[in-house]
Amino acid sequence: MHIAIAGNIGSGKTTLTQLLARHYKWDQLQEAVDNNPYLFDFYKDMQRWSFNLQIFFLNSRFEQLMEIRRSGRNVIQDRTIYEDAYIFAPNLHAMGLMTTRDFENYFRLFNNMETSVVPPDLLIYLRASVETLVRQISERGREYETSISIDYLKRLNERYEAWIGKYDKGRLLVIDVDNNSFPTNAEDLGKIVSGIDAEIHGLFPADAPSTNGNGKAAKQKKKVAVKKK
């Protein structure tokens, strides 16, 4: 079983990955942050280092996916290869922080990789407002993130929503982070676990609302927005 967690910077992906791995006793695959040789330079000069950073992330996530296929392990993965290709790289290109030449080269590489990629059995999308993202980024206090602008987060959020609205690679669970305090509230985390169990076992618990986070029934993609009452 391969569960992947998607979401903007500061949405809580790493925390949820750790909590779910502990609950299910599965392996966790974290995003390559601490060992990323380009991350600090990128936030100081995005235009200079955008291509290098995105290639590093693309390669590291591809390696993770190949390892999942080889090992057959049950894993929780922090962020997906699709977010690199459909959100972060296009956003950098649109903002003029990645040249068209570099972006086209990057996307050709992704297209070649995608032929060997198996999508996750379940994608969990952490939906959060920019205000929540800013607060959580501030609370975790990573020095290299202090230069992230609100406009940058807003642009990423817009791309995330567009991507999730068209996601068709498998089962999808949408969590409203603004109304769910899973890092500190066991009941909220339990609602997420119930939603996951409903998706992977085909069961529907009585307290899991079958909506897509906007109050609309999610019939085609079987989304479940887990919200705190």
The 10s digit of each residue's pLDDT in 118-177 is 999 999 999 999 999 999 999 887 777 777 889 999 999 999 999 999 999 999 999 999
Question: What confidence score (pLDDT) does residue 202 get?
Answer: 73
Q: What is the pTM of this model?
A: 0.84
122-127/171-176 β-pairing = parallel
Look up residue 146 and give its DSSP letter.
Answer: T
Tokens encoding 123: 């994608």
CATH code, residues 2-186: 3.40.50.300
Q: Are 210 and 224 in contact (CB under 8 A)?
A: yes
Residue 78: active-site member: yes
Closest C-alpha among 205, 211, 206 to residue 224? 211
Q: Which of 27, 34, 45, 78 is catalytic?
A: 78
Given a cut of 70, the residues of the chain with pLDDT beneath it are: 32-34, 203-229
Question: What confidence score (pLDDT) does residue 30 get?
Answer: 85
